[in-house]
Chains A and B, each alone.
Chain A
Amino acid sequence: MSATVLSLRGATKRFGGLVAVNGIDFDVTEHEVMGLIGPNGSGKSTTLNLISGALKPTAGSITLHGTEIAGLAPQEINRKGVARTFQLVRMLPSMSVLDNVMAGAVFGHRRAWGQAARDKAMALLDRVGLSGRANNRIGELTYIDTKRVELARVLACDPRILLLDEWLAGLNPSELETGITLIKSLRDEGRTIILVEHVMDAIRSLCDRCVVMTSGTKIAEGTPAEVLNDPEVIRAYLGDDDA
C-alpha cells in the first residue's frame, strides 16, 4: 500500500445558499491518477479550487502529506508542489509562448531563473508538441495549443500533484490519443494526478480510481469499471428514467 499524499475530510464550500461541495471525503495515493467525475455543476471544479487554494473551504480539512493546507493562499499551496490547469484556459496574453511557460518555472515548487528557466521551458514546449512555437504570441495560437501552453506552464514548476480540469475536453480523436499518452507519461514519471474529466475513454484508460460527485456530494468511489457500472452513478448521469 503506497502513501496517501492528499486527503479531504468533510470539505465543504457554500456560495450563499448553494452548497457546491458538501462534506467530501477522499484520499489520493502517491503516483496514482484519480478521476473526479460527475454531471455538469456537480462541484468538480469547485473541489479543485479548494485543493489549489483558489477558494477557501467553508468547512472541512484538506491535508497534504499530513499537513493542513485548507485556506492557504494558492501561491503557498503551489510552492508545496501542487499545480493546476483551469477549465477555462488562462494565458498571459501580452507575453510570448516561451514567457508563458517560464512563468511556471520561476516562482513555483522548483525555482529556476535565466537560462535554466528558459531551457526548462523549451524542453516542456517540445514535450507538449509545441516545438518551434516559443516566440509566437498567444493570440496566434489555436485553442488546443493554448491548452498545451497551459499544461507546459503548470509542468514547469515540477509539481508532485497535478490537478487537471477537463484538460482533454475539446480535443479531436487523434489529439485525444496524444493527450492521453502525455498524461500517462506524467504519471509514469511519478506524479500524482487528479483528473476532472467528462471523456469516458480517457477516464477508462487513465484513472486508477474515480470519485463520482453529484450536487456536491460523493456518491461512489472505486475503479472506473466499478463506478461506471454502479446503478446510482448511471442514474446520476442519465436521470431517473433511464435507470
Chain B
Amino acid sequence: MNLSRDDIPALAFSALLLGLAAMLPLTGSSYWMGIGLSIAMFTVLSTSWALFSGPTHYISLATAAFFGLGTYTVGLGFESLPFWLLIIIAAAIGAALAGIVGLATLRLSGVYFVIFTLGLAELVRQLTTWVQNLTGQRGFYVLTDIGETEIYLMLVGLAALVFLTGWLIGRSRLGFALRIIGDDEEVARHSGINTARAKVLLFMVSGLVAAATGAILAPRYVYIEPSLAFSPILSFQVVIMALLGGPGRLWGPLVGVIPFTFLWEAISSSFPNQTTLVLGIAFLVIVYALPRGFVGLIEDGRHRLRAREGYA
C-alpha cells in the first residue's frame, strides 16, 4: 500500500486522539465515564452508519434492530460462551441480517427504504417480545464482571477499527464505486459497477458494527428487555448525529456526536420528559440550517479562506 504525504499526519493525529480517548478512565470521574461511553458508542454507530448512508444517501433506521440483536446475543449466551466470542457471533448475525435485508430492499428507492428499515426494527422488537411472552419472561439479567472501563475501552477499540475500515474503503475501488452510485446510479450501472453488491456490502458493515456495539454494551444494562435493547429512538439519534456532523466525511459524524451528546446529557438531566421534543427540534434545525452538517460549514469556511488567499 502506498501512503500519500497527507495520509501520514492524518493517521498519526488519529492515533493520538484515540490514545487520548483511551486514557479517559484515568480521570476516575463517573460523570466523564458516562459521557465518554455515550460518545464512544455513538461515534461507532454514527460513523459506521455514515459509511453506508453518506455515499449512497439511503437513510437507514434499522440501527436499533442490529443493536438489539447484539444485546440479546450476549443476554442469551453470556453464561455458556466467552464474551469475546459472543461479540463475534453478534457481529456475524448483524452482518447476515443486513445482507438479507439489503438484498431484499436496496432495490427500493429512498423513501421506501427508510420506511422498510423502520418497520424492520419494530418487527424484530415485536418478535422478540412475542417469543419472550411465550416463554413467560419479560427480559433477563446480564450479570458479568465486565465493568464500565472495559466496555469503554472495547468501544474505543471498535471505533479505531471502524475508522480504519472507513479509511481503507475510501481509498478502494469499492469506495469509488459508492461515490459514483451516490451521484448517479444509472451511470454507475452503465460503467460496469455491480451497484446492488456494493450497497449490500456496505450495509452489512454497518449492521455488523451496530450488532457488535449492542453486544459490547449488554453488560452495562444489567437487565435487558425488548423496549430497551430495540429502542427506536436509538436509530433516530444515530441518524441525527451523523447528519449534524456531516456524513460525507469519515470524521464528520464524530463532529456531530460530541456536541449532541453534551446537549442530550444536559437536556435529559434537566428536562427528562422533553427528550423526544429535543430530538425533533434538532432534526428540523439540521435539515433547514445545516443541510451538509458541520462538515459543510467547515469546508465552506476553508473554501472562502482559500479564495481570499488567492486574491491577496
Contacts and interface: CB of A to CB of B under 8 A. Distances in A.
Please say whether chains A and B are actual partners in one complex: yes
Interface of A: 52-54, 73-75, 78-79, 83-84, 86, 90-95, 99, 102-104, 106-109, 111, 113, 153, 157
A1 to B, nearest CB: 31
Given A92-B180, A95-B180, A106-B191, 18 more contacts: A54-B190, A73-B189, A75-B188, A75-B189, A75-B195, A83-B190, A90-B184, A90-B186, A90-B187, A94-B183, A99-B176, A103-B188, A106-B173, A106-B176, A107-B192, A153-B191, A157-B191, A157-B192
A75 B184 contact: no
A85 to B, nearest CB: 9
A78 B191 contact: yes
A107 B193 contact: yes
A103 B187 contact: yes
B190 A74 contact: yes
Contacts of A52: 190
B179 A75 contact: no
B177 interface: yes
Given A103-B176, A103-B180, A107-B173, A54 B186 contact: yes
Nearest to A92: B183
B182 interface: yes
A117 to B, nearest CB: 9
A240 B206 CA distance: 62
Among B184, B186, B192, B193, which residue has the most Cβ atoms of chain A within 10 A? Answer: B192
A72 B13 CA distance: 47
Contacts of B177: 106-107
Interface string B109-131: 00000000000000000000000
Contact of A108 (B179, B183, B191, B195): B191
Contact of B192 (A78, A90, A102, A113): A78
Contacts of A79: 192
Among A73, A95, A103, A111, which residue has the most Cβ atoms of chain B within 10 A? Answer: A103
Contact of B191 (A53, A54, A95, A103): A103
Interface in B151-191: 173, 176-177, 179-180, 182-184, 186-191
B133 interface: no
Nearest to B193: A107
24 contacts: A52-B190, A53-B190, A54-B186, A74-B186, A74-B190, A75-B189, A75-B190, A75-B193, A75-B194, A78-B190, A84-B190, A90-B184, A92-B184, A95-B180, A102-B176, A103-B180, A103-B188, A106-B173, A106-B176, A106-B177, A107-B173, A107-B192, A107-B193, A157-B191
